[in-house]
Structure 1
Amino acid sequence: MASMSYDRHCAEIVAQTALLRTRLDDADLSAPVPTCPGWTLAQLVRHLGGAHRWAETIIRTRAAEPVPDDLVNDVSGHPDVDAATLGAWLTDGAEQLADALRTAGPDAPVWTVAPGGTPAFWARRMTHETVVHRADATFVAAQAPGGSAGADRPFAVVEDVAVDALDEWMSFGSLPVVRETTPRIADVMGRGHTLRFQATDAAPEAAADWLIALEADAPTWHRPPSPALSPPPPLSASVERGDPHERGGAPDALAAPATTTVRGALSDLLLLVYGRIPTRGAAPAPVGAGTGPVEIRGDVPLLDAWLHAVSFWLRE
């Protein structure tokens, strides 16, 4: 279950797009995107605008079967388009998607690429798709001559948006297909290994502390309950449902040391799981909003193996 409301997701799609569009001001659209090898800034924008339009088609038509994703994968577009025109096209697609989502409501049956089957899935997914690609555009700005654009406006995400984005990531990572898609992850599952992600800049009520247990069948994850949220269901109810996300569950596990612990600013944790900053070495540019580097303690190869497995859907 998303920690943000459906209406908020609809609004954030437009808001995050507007923030990304500011990165196009005076930008070189032919500049390479260091975090998306092979793409220019213009191609990044076309990909995101295509994703918005693809999702809008699914919602508007109440698609019950997969919809061709040519709009997402074809980033050729018109090579001579200017930033103002491309930015207006991007905004238009985001607004169309938000309008379609609001018209449909959160519960209408539609096809989704992962468990969900409602517009609520797409509202959340497109929110965080936009957030992450806004980070990509920030990396481009940071590597412009002098790097002033990135330094003046580092990438940052509002706390509840970042928490929801990481919740979504953990949910994808708990799908059984993780083991099926990446056989090598089986070598580290079912051995009692755990990974923990702790935000160093979040308010206590955000409960920005995630524990992943690499169970034999599929990873599971836990996050302690937030005082701002309704009380979670009893742990037994979650277990009986097979719910991989047991909010408030596994208190003993949360207290025990993890095999690998990752600590950093929320924005930086998000960049790390999405592969935008590495687990080793320097990032392409200092665009994170944190005050220091991400700190990793424990088994780094285990973290790398888990990140590779969980990101299977990014490679599809």
Structure 2
Amino acid sequence: MTAFTGYRGALIAETDALAELLRAADPATPVPTCPGWSLAQIGTHVGRAQRWAAAMIAARATEAMDTRAVPDGAMPKQPEAAARWLSEGARIVIDAVDATGPEVPVWVSFGAPCPAERWIRRLLHEAVVHRADALLALDRPVTVDPAVAADGIDEWLELLAIGLSGRGVAALPGAATMHLHAVDPGLGDRGEWMIRPSGSSIAFEHGHAKGTVAVRGSATALLLLLMRRVGSDDPAVEIHGDGAVLTHWLAETPF
């Protein structure tokens, strides 16, 4: 199966879904997967991040801007207005990309400036994970389109490959390897990852191979595990082989 490409529609859908959750929930509800945060803070974080990215795209910024300078960066307190504000953020980003030009280089988290379009993917997966935070806080099941969740795993591994370089702490101990296998129908090779040490960082490729540890589950379950939204003892994931490798990985790859 080819790589996921529907980032624009998915960003709108995920942001709208989070907005609907906030419309109906108590904004003061604590979010255990983001210690010290409430649902209101989750919404503010997502909506402000989208407007922050849009401002940098519009300015063609090649360095990070101060998030405190983001126009309209405060989420309204009234539930209907808050939901509308949050939904608008995804569209503001997409409009900024189109107005500036998808290929114009701007600052993007991790690494050198990248085409402005890259922000749409980054903010999609930010919204996916924080919608999961909200659902878990409300004791509701987390469901994510398998192709979106698999792409979220791709992006996380890509960011780690950059972020771990030169850090001096190995994500995988020694020569250990890790295989991830998403069991969702239709993902094909895009639902399998072989992760290996590469200097002080990691490298990965799609496909089936035997790892020192193997982790199986839906793409959503694997993404939540990698993002530390669920633990390795979650019944939605199966671990085969040396579980200590996964424990080490989770300890050394904090979000």
- State TM-score, norm by structure 1: 0.73
Counterpart CA distance in 1 for 2:23 and 2:104 is: 38
Q: Secondary structure at the match of 1:11?
A: helix
- How far 1:141 sits from its partner (Å)? 1.9
Deviating above 4 A after TM superposition, structure 1's stretches of 4 or more consecutive aligned residues are none
Amino acid corresponding to residue 135 of structure 2 in structure 1? T
Matches for 1:129-148 after TM superposition, within 5 Å: 129-142=126-139
SS in 2 for 1:54: helix
Give the equivalent residue in structure 2 for 1:100.
Answer: 96
Name the counterpart of 2:221: 268
Aligned pair count reads 251
Question: Equivalent residue of 1:180, what SS?
Answer: coil
- 1:47: which partner in 2? 45
Amino acid at match of 1:103: A
CA contact under 8 A between 1:173 and 1:310: conserved in structure 2?
yes
**1:267 partner amino acid:** T
The 3 A distance-change label for structure 1 pair 187 and 46 is closer
* Alignment-mate amino acid for residue 298 of structure 1: G
Q: Percent identity?
A: 33
- Structure 1 residue 294 corresponds to structure 2 residue 253: no
Which position in structure 1 is the counterpart of 2:170? Answer: 185
Aligned to 1:227: none
Structure 1 CA distance for aligned equivalents of residues 172 and 158 of structure 2: 21
1:110 to 102, 106, 113: 106
Instruction: Tell me the amino acid that sits aligned with residue 216 of structure 2.
Output: R
Change (3 A) 1:269 1:38: same
Structure 1 residue 297: Cα displacement:
1.8
1:210 is aligned with what amino acid? W
2:108 and 2:114 in contact (8 A); partners too: yes
Match of 1:11 among 9, 12, 34: 9
Where do 1:104-253 residues align within 5 Å?
A: 104-115=100-111, 117-142=114-139, 150=140, 154-175=141-162, 177-181=163-167, 183-185=168-170, 188=173, 191-205=174-188, 207-224=190-207
Q: Which runs of 5+ in 2 are unaligned?
A: none
- Structure 1 segment 73-84 matched on structure 2, within 5 A: 77=74, 81-84=77-80
5+ residue gaps, structure 1: 143-149, 225-253, 283-291
Structure 1, 127-136 or 21-30: larger mean CA deviation? 21-30
CA offset digits 1:130-162 (Å, max 9, x no partner): 1111111111221xxxxxxx2xxx321112211
TM norm structure 2 = 0.89
Deviation at 1:71, TM superposition (A): 6.7
Q: Per-residue deviation at 1:206? A: 5.5
Amino acid at match of 2:239: I
Instruction: Say if 1:90 and 1:168 are closer, same or farther in 2 by CA, change over 3 A.
Output: same
Partner of residue 247, structure 1: none
Q: Secondary structure at the match of 1:46?
A: helix
Structure 1 residues 51-70: aligned runs within 5 Å = 51-70=49-68
Shift of 1:122: 0.9
Give the structure with higher Rg (CA).
Answer: 1
